[in-house]
Amino acid sequence: MHKLNPSLSVDCVIFGLDTNEQSLKILVYEREIFPIEGSGNKNLKFPGSLVIEDEDLDESAYRILNELTGLKNVYLKQFSAFGKPDRIKFDEEREWSEKHYGIKINRVVTIAYYALIRIDKHNPEQKQIKDKLRWINIDNASNLAFDHSHILSVALETLRRDLIFQSAISLELLPKKFTLNHLQSLYEIILGNKLDKRNFRKKIAKAGYIVPIGEKQTGVAHKPAMLYRFDKRKFNKNNEGIATFFI
């Protein structure tokens, strides 16, 4: 059995794009410690756990993500540490944590990661990994457990900035083959505003690493769109792995 460090945890803010609802969602874990009524979202928290002694933080994040949600091979990035001594505010929270981990908890500093995944591909409910996981809309995510609402707001800020200055991460949220409207819609959902279709396409074209695969959508009740893919080789060659189409 691995020994847990009682001062250190990792939390994962898992973002998923709901292309039907045109909304950005997060995957949260539902506990049952506060009464159902009137407790707001206090029973919802991000998947997270204490880290094992002698475990690398990044590995810890991957392990926790996989154990709690079954997710693998996802884009995961550390974005901040949260360490207010009163992060765990309620006695019930402390009790829950101690029962949950089976060790005495003091003050816990959490290292927060965000993950980008495709809801259609990685729906944990479909995979019946845990029946306690739920996707919720970020607009309904106020008043989460611990300081998780604060963590969410920092995560969102970071995601939006990364999406602009490091555009390639957007592709984590799309299938291998996608249409330019899918990509544009992703930006609109995450950034929260509309973009001009023609200007958007000009930028994509200039970036050069998003290329048509010569196939079209099928089965859609409208003009089928050309499918595109991410060309890693072109990306690396022109952008040294960092660049962006700076929406």
Partner DNA sequence: TTAATTAGTGTAAATAAAACACTAACAAAA
Partner DNA sequence: TTTTGTTAGTGTTTTATTTACACTAATTAA
Contact residues toward DNA (CB under 7 A) are 179-181, 196-199, 201-203, 216, 218-226, 246
Shorter beta-carbon distance to DNA: residue 43 or 179: 179
- Residue 147 interacting with a copy of itself (CB under 8 A): no
Task: Give me the least distance between CB of 137 and DNA, in Å please.
Answer: 20
Q: Which does 111 bind (CB under 5 to 8 A by kind): DNA, a copy of itself, none?
A: a copy of itself
d(CA 106, CA 85): 9
B/e letters for 221-240, b = 16+ CB within 10 Å, e = fewer, are eeeeeebbbbeeeebeeebe
83 token code pair: 């360490």
Q: How far apart are CA 13 and CA 69, in angstroms?
A: 12
Binding segment for a copy of itself (CB under 8 A), chosen from 39-47, 56-64, 67-75, 196-204, is: 56-64
Closest approach of Cβ 55 to DNA, in Å?
A: 43
Size of the site for a copy of itself (CB under 8 A): 22
Q: Considering CB distances under 5 to 8 angstroms, the limit depending on partner class, which of DNA, a copy of itself, none binds residue 221?
A: DNA
Considering the complex, state which of residue 54 and residue 131 has its C-beta at the smaller distance from a copy of itself. 54
Position among 19, 23, 39, 80 found at the interface with a copy of itself (CB under 8 A): 80
- 133 three-state secondary structure: strand
For position 78 contacting a copy of itself by CB under 8 A, the verdict is: yes
From the list 15, 11, 13, the residue with the least C-alpha distance to 191 is 15
DSSP letter (8 states) at residue 35: -
Name, in order, each residue with C-beta under 8 angstroms of 206's C-beta and a sequence gap of 6 or more: 245
Q: Is residue 191 part of the contact set for a copy of itself (CB under 8 A)?
A: no
Alpha carbon distances (Å) from 128 to 7, 45, 68: 31, 19, 11
Exactly one of 20, 35, 36, 54 binds a copy of itself (CB under 8 A); that residue is 54
Structure tokens at 242: 């960092």
Q: Are 110 and 5 in contact (CB under 8 A)?
A: no
Q: Which does 85 bind (CB under 5 to 8 A by kind): DNA, a copy of itself, none?
A: a copy of itself
Nearer to DNA, 149 or 239 (CB): 239
From the list 23, 131, 140, 129, the residue with the least C-alpha distance to 72 is 129
Binding stretches for a copy of itself (CB under 8 A): 5, 7-8, 51, 53-57, 60, 78, 80-85, 106-107, 109, 111, 165
